[in-house]
Amino acid sequence: MVREPDGVGVIDLGVLPADEPDEPAVPLGVSRWGRRLVAGLALAAVLTGVTAAERLPQPGVSTLAVLPSSTGTAWVVDAGLVMVFENQRAVAYDPDGWRELWSVPGAALVHAVAYDDLVVLFRGDAMNEPAGEKPEWAVAVDRATGQRRWSSDRQVEVRGGVMVSYLPAVLMQDVEFRDTATNRLRWKLPASLAWAADEQRSALWRIAPDGGLVEHDLETGVVRRTVRVLLPDTGRNLNLTIGRGTVGITAFGNGDWRDDSKTLWYEVAGLTGVSGAGQWAWEQDCGRGLSCAHTLGGDQVFLVDPATGVTLRTAPEGRLMGSPLGLLQLGQEGGTDFSLPTVQAVLDPRTGYLRTELKGWRVLGMSDGLVRVLAHYDVPRKLTYLAELTEREAVRLDAVPHLLRECTAAGRTLVCATMAGDIVVLRIAREHR
């Protein structure tokens, strides 16, 4: 998501095409052949007594609620809770009726995770803290009442059933594993050359100072096994990577960055060496049933089959984001920090063809890591035109009477921050496949 910095007074959202000033002129997901087909179907509909407007009604978007806010941003925690993060507090709302449940004071809160009867609120940074005071990097509150349960001046990450706690910007290793409900210390990471959490197996892998590869139970710290494996050059820094049923060990340092070719991979069942083919630093859903796989150095992205890890094609260079329609190639337009990422093209992952029908539309809303809603603006009339991305096409929706600056999607509901500082809750009428 792109967030609006405080104090932005002038916002460049681009202009609409000159030949159709009030609405985006780019057809969404319709080729020249497709337009001929649509025209033919419309004529057939008229001949049978059904108008094109009746046959193809424009999908509606209705406003469910407008939530007052002070330049806030919204975060959908789950189906029963939405958080709005303002400058100095976080406000919880019930999506069933959109009534305010409770609020928690705190600056720079940007993210929330629900865990049983708790909601853990996370900070984005500590820049606004008074000098000499330790920031609260995380605050846990009762889900029903908002009453504080615990807080932490250490950065925390929820990994499965345990919370990883560490001190940021500290060279000496200090990693703790705590109970999410109580913040009680469960175990501490022993001295290690490198470590990585394997949530799929509820494991913690580390390289001990003597070179042994150790597997711990992630929640209890109990050692499951210790194995001596071949390591890369131990005179350099080591990095652990969790792959597809594998653990990768990379040596790096002396001014160079991590290199895939220097990674030794071991399958987790027997910790025997395996090829690095189909192993990646990390993968993410890119839509259309494919994953985006990233190399250790982060310079190259591949489209792969998530079931096998087989590479289908190399992704184009530049900024990329996944969507149900395909991989979006993005740029940046406008002279302000606010400007939303702009679509340059959509990559068909099966053919490699770059489609440009959506060029100029802005990334507005995401859900489950995929871009699902795009925006085009009519600034003078304070309208935002919306398009919903599906696996087949980009579906044109109604314009809404707000200038939206970001949205988060929860099913057919969009929770959007506006440039006026409010939070508007929208409902998309029908689902499109």
DSSP string, 307-373: TT--EEEEPPSSEEE--TT-EEEEEE-SSSTTPPEEEEEEE-TTT--EE-TTTT-EEEEEETTEEEE
Task: Say if 1 falls within a structural domain.
Answer: yes
Low-confidence ranges of the chain (pLDDT < 70): 1-59, 70, 125-134, 168-172, 234-235, 253-261, 297-298, 332-338, 430-433
**What was the pLDDT predicted at 236?**
73
Alpha carbon distances (Å) from 369 to 107, 202, 284, 308, 401: 26, 23, 8, 21, 27
Give the CA count within 13 Å in the CB-facing half-sphere of 66: 10
Count of CB atoms within 10 A of residue 183's CB? 19
pLDDT at 53: 27
Is 41 contained in some domain? no
Q: Is residue 71 part of a domain?
A: no
Residue 330 lies in a domain: yes
Whether 79 is in a domain gets the answer no
pLDDT in tens, 136-147: 889 999 999 999
Give SS3 for 55.
helix
**Beta-bridge partners for 427:** 62, 413
Q: Domain range for residue 379?
A: 1-35+318-433
User: What pLDDT, in 10s, does the model give residues 270-322?
Assistant: 999 998 887 888 888 988 888 988 877 667 888 998 888 788 888 888 888 99
pLDDT of residue 77: 92
Domain count, the chain: 1
At position 305, the amino acid (one-letter code) is D
Q: Please give the Cα distance from 255 to 245 (Å, whole number).
A: 30
Whether 340 is in a domain gets the answer: yes
Residue 431 pLDDT: 61
CB 142 within 8 A of CB 150: no
User: Would you say residue 356 lies in a domain?
Assistant: yes
- Give the per-residue pLDDT at 309: 79
Asked if residue 140 is part of any domain, the answer here is: no
pTM: 0.75
